[in-house]
A and B are shown apart, each in its own frame.
Chain A
């Protein structure tokens, strides 16, 4: 038996974010602190307390450049965001142009595309109203492929002609980062040369309504949308709902080197766990022991000491959980507060994209490592009192960086955690 495990690298990325479509636009937005949060009139019409959100802009035109009229007949929003990001990721990895290979299947590539709440726009706008009205026949042929949990991965598998495992994972707001961990294992074990991983999430009001009712969404900045997402601030009052898609091409180092692919970064180690909803943990709040174990296990597998971590891209949603998260990082890295690595929250610019959050934020994380910068976290000039000991580590303004190791974590309802350790590829 071959005991040599494959090293896993990133050879392509694609992004559809509220503050930019495409890697170049996203990088510029991150560097310049461009918020993608806008006032959303349809949330106001439906009497949401939170009337701001992060929705990718210009997609009605952009999607026509990527997807045929015929294929769009059977794609809801999450499928469109996911497909555009996946095609961009595929092209960025310099793989053969989709559709150019006839009936050839790429048996060496799979896809693990996560989503938190799949197809609720289709369910809310078509499936439920027509079924309730006794008009089942009028649903047509496109319902199932838009509401099945694997709608986005199936769609992408068809567009790209993928022949490896094509599946969807779902673990609430951990989803996107969990997808990277899952793909990492697949490649490390030698089961596939490449796995397209990430997450996608639509912006349906039906997806966001339940969070609004839980009173966990930002509700005090409806007139100042760009200030609404305030992770780590004293004035954080809930997260801003977001949407979009972020994709990464994971590839074995041997495959990447054999085809001369550009390597953005290496995935050194991962862990995914659950806090068991014990020790203060619940469906909606993490067991701190679970979070710390997850981070420590990922670092151990990566062969990295806490002191070697240069950057943290946090989960940091702008709820009351932010100070607990930062303290968990400190405990996990076993450092003094003033020695915490630099930490930022991409959600300050794009909101919380739920099942897509991990994908979008891992793209941001890898861009920072590859391009040598750390993006500022918006709207935390008034640092939360419990975070004052960490004030010097909280990045408020974008700065240049020669960071080598970045730790990224995502946490989700169900007390589930995922941590990925990225290293600049030298």
Chain B
């Protein structure tokens, strides 16, 4: 797994109600369905990505983030 994937895992951890699923997460793991993240909190996760990686994520890009892999792809394109 990439360094960015591991960082994403750390960032999303406080928001995940299913920590077992997070420990076993892959690129396909869904924030809402698998990790049981409250959908309202996706906004906060994106703000945390911006702070951690010093990037800006547009609203459209943020809306497209559904899985761990989606997040890594968006971040990879900007760092």
Q: Which of A68, A69, A140 contacts B43 (CB 8 A)?
A: A140
B40 and A141 contact, CB distance less than 8 A = yes
A140 and B14 contact, CB distance less than 8 A = no
**Interface residue tally of chain A, by bracket?**
under 10
B47 and A140 contact, CB distance less than 8 A = yes
A residues near B41, Cβ cutoff 8 Å: 73, 141-142
A residues near B47, Cβ cutoff 8 Å: 137-138, 140
A70 and B40 contact, CB distance less than 8 A = no
Q: What total count of A-B pairs have CB within 8 Å?
A: 24
A73 and B14 contact, CB distance less than 8 A = yes
A140 and B44 contact, CB distance less than 8 A = yes
Q: Which of B14, B42, B43 contacts A70 (CB 8 A)?
A: B14
A73 and B40 contact, CB distance less than 8 A = no
Chain A, residue nearest B13 (CB): A69
B14 and A141 contact, CB distance less than 8 A = no
Chain B, residue nearest A69 (CB): B14
A residues near B40, Cβ cutoff 8 Å: 141-142
A residues near B17, Cβ cutoff 8 Å: 68, 70
Interface string of B1-43 (1 = CB under 8 A from A): 0000000000000111100000000000000000000101111
A residues near B42, Cβ cutoff 8 Å: 141
Complex CA gap A42/B55 in Å reads 36
Chain A, residue nearest B42 (CB): A141
A residues near B38, Cβ cutoff 8 Å: 70
B residues near A140, Cβ cutoff 8 Å: 43-44, 47
B residues near A73, Cβ cutoff 8 Å: 14-15, 41, 44
List residues 44-59 of chain B with CB under 8 A from any CB of chain A: 44, 47
Complex CA gap A37/B45 in Å reads 39
Min distance, Cβ A127 to any Cβ of chain B, angstroms: 15
**Interface residue tally of chain B, by bracket?**
10 to 19
Complex CA gap A138/B51 in Å reads 10
B43 and A141 contact, CB distance less than 8 A = yes
B44 and A141 contact, CB distance less than 8 A = yes
List residues 120-143 of chain A with CB under 8 A from any CB of chain B: 137-138, 140-142
B residues near A70, Cβ cutoff 8 Å: 14-17, 38
A residues near B43, Cβ cutoff 8 Å: 140-141
B residues near A68, Cβ cutoff 8 Å: 17
Min distance, Cβ A152 to any Cβ of chain B, angstroms: 18
Min distance, Cβ A123 to any Cβ of chain B, angstroms: 18
List residues 60-74 of chain A with CB under 8 A from any CB of chain B: 68-70, 73
Min distance, Cβ A142 to any Cβ of chain B, angstroms: 7
A residues near B16, Cβ cutoff 8 Å: 70
Chain A, residue nearest B15 (CB): A70
B44 and A142 contact, CB distance less than 8 A = yes
Complex CA gap A73/B37 in Å reads 12
Complex CA gap A138/B57 in Å reads 12
Chain A, residue nearest B48 (CB): A140
Complex CA gap A137/B51 in Å reads 13
B residues near A137, Cβ cutoff 8 Å: 47
The residue in A73, A141, A142 that gathers the most chain B C-beta atoms within 10 A of its C-beta is A141
Min distance, Cβ B24 to any Cβ of chain A, angstroms: 18
Complex CA gap A142/B40 in Å reads 8
A residues near B14, Cβ cutoff 8 Å: 69-70, 73
Min distance, Cβ A63 to any Cβ of chain B, angstroms: 15
Min distance, Cβ A129 to any Cβ of chain B, angstroms: 16
Chain B, residue nearest A137 (CB): B47
Complex CA gap A137/B41 in Å reads 13
Min distance, Cβ A408 to any Cβ of chain B, angstroms: 39
Min distance, Cβ A144 to any Cβ of chain B, angstroms: 9
List residues 299-331 of chain A with CB under 8 A from any CB of chain B: none
A residues with a Cβ closer than 8 A to B are 68-70, 73, 137-138, 140-142
- What would be 17 A-B contacts, judged by CB atoms less than 8 Å apart? A68-B17, A69-B14, A70-B14, A70-B16, A70-B17, A70-B38, A73-B14, A73-B44, A137-B47, A138-B47, A140-B43, A140-B47, A141-B40, A141-B41, A141-B42, A141-B44, A142-B40
List the 6 shortest-distance A-B pairs measured between CB atoms, nearest first: A141-B40, A140-B44, A141-B43, A69-B14, A141-B44, A141-B41
